[in-house]
C-alpha cells in the first residue's frame, strides 16, 4: 500500500508543519488546554483531599456500645463477632470498665478527687467504627437489638454534620467543574474558529482542486492531537510541581494536616484524564470547527 503510506506521511507532515506555520494559534490553543486542565486538576485534587480528610474524621466518629453490667469481662469480649456481623461496622474495640475508668480519670488534673471511684461503677463497652456515617442511625438500632448491649451512644450531630459537609463538597465540585468546562469549551471553540478562519482560504483551495473531506480533515486532526498531547503534558508537569509546592507549604504552615501524597493511584488517573481531555478538545474542537467549511 504505497499510496497509503504516502498519505499518512502527508497527514503527519501537514499537521506538524501547520502547527509551526500558525504558531500563534497553536500557542493560544495549548495555553487554553493547559489552563483548563490545571484548574480542573486543582479542583479534583482539592476534592480528593477533602474526601480523605472526611474519611479521617469518619474513622474517628465512633459509636459506643455499652454492655450489660451482669456480664463478665470474658462474656462481654465474646460479643465482638456479633457486633462485627452488623453491616456497616468495620471494627469494634473492646474497652474494659478499668480502662474506661482510667481514661475518665485521665481527663482531669486533680486525680485524687476520684480515688474512691470504683471501676465496677462503669460498664464494659465497645468502641464501634463504621464505614459510612450516613447510616449511623441504622447501625445504632442494630446494636440495640443485641440483648447483651444495654445502651448505645452515637454522636449523631457530628455524623450528620459530616454527611452535609460531604454533600456540599460534592455539589460544589460538580458545579465548579461544569462551569469551568463550559467556559473553556467556549474559549476553545472560539480559538479554533479563529484558527480555521485563518485557514479558510487554504481549505477552499483544497475543496476547489477536489480534495475529499477526509483528506482535508486528517491534517487538522493530527494537529489537534499533537496540540492536545503537548497541552496535557505541560499541564501535568505544572500540576505536579504546583502540588508539590502546596504540600510543602501546608506542612510548613499547618503541621497538623498534610496533603495526600501524589501516589500512582491518584497521578495515573489524572494523567489519563489530562491526555484524554487534551485529545478530545484538540481533535474534537478542530473537527467541529472545520465542519463549517466542508459543507461547500
Interface residue list for another protein (CB under 8 A): 2-3, 6-7, 10, 21, 201-202, 204-213, 215-216, 296
Q: Closer to another protein at the Cβ: 1 or 157?
A: 1
Q: What is the full DSSP assignment across the chain?
A: -HHHHHHHHHHHHHHHHHHHHTHHHHHHHHHHHHHHHHHHHHHHHHHHHHHHHHHHHHHH--EEEEEPTTS-HHHHHTTHHHHHTSTTEEEEEEE-HHHHHHHHHHT-S-GGGGTT--GGGSPPEEEEEES-GGGHHHHHHHHHHSTTEEEEEE-HHHHHHHHHHHHHHHHHHHHHHHHHHHHHHHHHHHHHHHHHHHTHHHHHHHHHTT--HHHHHHHHHHHHHHHHHHHHHHHHHHHHHHHHHHHHHHHHH-TT--PPP--HHHHHHHHHHHHHHHHIIIIIHHHHHHHHHH--
Q: Closer to another protein at the Cβ: 183 or 205?
A: 205
- Contact between 136 and 65 (Cβ < 8 Å): no
Q: Closer to another protein at the Cβ: 24 or 84?
A: 24
**Minimum distance of another protein from residue 233's CB (angstroms):** 27
Q: Closer to another protein at the Cβ: 4 or 74?
A: 4
Q: Closer to another protein at the Cβ: 159 or 206?
A: 206
**Minimum distance of another protein from residue 23's CB (angstroms):** 11
Q: Closer to another protein at the Cβ: 153 or 204?
A: 204
**Minimum distance of another protein from residue 203's CB (angstroms):** 10
**Minimum distance of another protein from residue 224's CB (angstroms):** 19
**Minimum distance of another protein from residue 290's CB (angstroms):** 14
- Cβ neighbours of residue 170 under 8 Å, at least 6 residues apart? 47
**Minimum distance of another protein from residue 265's CB (angstroms):** 47
Q: Closer to another protein at the Cβ: 123 or 199?
A: 199
**Minimum distance of another protein from residue 283's CB (angstroms):** 20
- Cβ neighbours of residue 290 under 8 Å, at least 6 residues apart? 196, 203, 216, 217, 220
**Minimum distance of another protein from residue 9's CB (angstroms):** 9
Q: Closer to another protein at the Cβ: 77 or 207?
A: 207
Amino acid at each position: 500500500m504505497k499510496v497509503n503510506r504516502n498519505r499518512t506521511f502527508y497527514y503527519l507532515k501537514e499537521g506538524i508543519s501547520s502547527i509551526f506555520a500558525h504558531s500563534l494559534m497553536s500557542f493560544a490553543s495549548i495555553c487554553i488546554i493547559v489552563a483548563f486542565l490545571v484548574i480542573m486538576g486543582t479542583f479534583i485534587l482539592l476534592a480528593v483531599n477533602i474526601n480523605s480528610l472526611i474519611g479521617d474524621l469518619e474513622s474517628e466518629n465512633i459509636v459506643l456500645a455499652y454492655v450489660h453490667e451482669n456480664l463478665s469481662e470474658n462474656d462481654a469480649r465474646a460479643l465482638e463477632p456479633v457486633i462485627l456481623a452488623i453491616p456497616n461496622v468495620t471494627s469494634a474495640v473492646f474497652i474494659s470498665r478499668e480502662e474506661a475508668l482510667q481514661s475518665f480519670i485521665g481527663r482531669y488534673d486533680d486525680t485524687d478527687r476520684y480515688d474512691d471511684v470504683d471501676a465496677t461503677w462503669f460498664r464494659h463497652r465497645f468502641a464501634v467504627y463504621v464505614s459510612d456515617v450516613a447510616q449511623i442511625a441504622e447501625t445504632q438500632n442494630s446494636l440495640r437489638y443485641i440483648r447483651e448491649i444495654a445502651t448505645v451512644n452515637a454522636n449523631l450531630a457530628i455524623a450528620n454534620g459530616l454527611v452535609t459537609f460531604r454533600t456540599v463538597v460534592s455539589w460544589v465540585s460538580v458545579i465548579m467543574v461544569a462551569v469551568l468546562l463550559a467556559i473553556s469549551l467556549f474559549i476553545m471553540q472560539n480559538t479554533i474558529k479563529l484558527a480555521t478562519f485563518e485557514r479558510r482560504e487554504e481549505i477552499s483551495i483544497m475543496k476547489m482542486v477536489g480534495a475529499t473531506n477526509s483528506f482535508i480533515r486528517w491534517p487538522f486532526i493530527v494537529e489537534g492531537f499533537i496540540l492536545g498531547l503537548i497541552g496535557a503534558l505541560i499541564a501535568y508537569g505544572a500540576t505536579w510541581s504546583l502540588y508539590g509546592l502546596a504540600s510543602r507549604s501546608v506542612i510548613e504552615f499547618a503541621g497538623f494536616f498534610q496533603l495526600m501524597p501524589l501516589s500512582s493511584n491518584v497521578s495515573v488517573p489524572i494523567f489519563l484524564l489530562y491526555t484524554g481531555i487534551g485529545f478530545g478538545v484538540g481533535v474534537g474542537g478542530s473537527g467541529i470547527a472545520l465542519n463549517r467549511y466542508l459543507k461547500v
